[in-house]
Amino acid sequence: MCGGGGRSQADTDAEAKRAAEDRIAAEDAKRQEIESKAEQKREDIGEAIESRTESRAGGRGGSGRRSLFRAGGGGYLGRFG
């Protein structure tokens, strides 16, 4: 009634073991890929922070934020104050 199609228990066990090993290998590869992407993101963020601090160190004329209410500049108070 419940014939295994001529397969022995050893064949079934060996197949299950191979499937488990394949799953573990796939999980390891996925984890390594995720860690690689995370490392790349950390490097990119570090570079972005460094470039931002370098541009601020240059003083005036950088591409940083400027207040619209700063007196003496091209802001609101300089035009209408």
- pLDDT band for position 67 (50/70/90)? low
> Quick check: is 65 in a domain?
no
Residue 69, in any domain of the structure: no
Number of domains in the chain: 1
78: Cβ–Cβ under 8 A, 6 or more apart, which residues? 70, 71, 72
Structural domain that includes position 16: 8-59
Determine what percent of the chain is predicted with pLDDT higher than 70.
Answer: 59
d(CA 7, CA 26) in angstroms, rounded, equals 27
Give percent of the chain with pLDDT exceeding 90: 44
Find the radius of gyration of the CA atoms of the chain.
Answer: 31
Query: What is the rounded (10 degree) CA torsion for 48, 51, 53, 59?
Result: -140
What rounded mean pLDDT belongs to the chain? Answer: 78
Q: What is the pTM of this model?
A: 0.49
Query: Of the given ranges (23-27, 28-32, 60-64), which has the lowest mean pLDDT?
Result: 60-64
22 part of a folded domain: yes
- What are the counts of helices (DSSP H) followed by strands (DSSP E) for the chain? 2, 0
